Amino acid sequence: MKQYVLDQLRDDDYDKVLGFLQKNAEPSEFGDIFWVRIPPELYTDLQREHQQCQPFRFAVSLTLTQAAFEMLVRSPHNLRCSCIGYADSRQRDYIITYADLMIEELEVKI
């Protein structure tokens, strides 16, 4: 799995990141995994065509010591479809920027 990982989080960093994700992402049924929506203007042509698969999102997996931002763009409605796949360059930039702005806003020292 391709990911952007922020590791070596401290205890107070974990709490900050958890609070941020609880406010700015959708919880999942898997505990410390959160869903972040990709803005529709960043959808690929195929993703725009697949309205039944929208909205597209990526996962953030949070543990006590790391936050992993997955590069797989998924649908909440389908597990397998041709529109699901690794982020293109614009989506990848969005995911990395999302993570970087989060740690900057929270003043997490990495």
Mean pLDDT score of the chain, rounded to an integer?
Answer: 95
pLDDT for position 49: 97
Q: How far apart are CA 57 and CA 35, in angstroms?
A: 6
What does the pLDDT read at residue 78?
87
Q: How many other CB atoms sit within 10 Å of the CB of residue 34?
A: 23
Residue 16, pLDDT score: 96
- Residue 15 confidence (pLDDT) above 90: yes
Q: Kindly state the average pLDDT of the residues 75-96.
A: 96
Q: What is the pLDDT of residue 8?
A: 93
Token pair belonging to 3: 């990911």
Q: Assign domain 3-106 to a CATH class.
A: alpha beta
**pLDDT, tens only, 24-77:** 999 998 889 999 999 999 999 999 999 999 999 999 999 999 999 999 999 999
pTM assigned to the model? 0.93
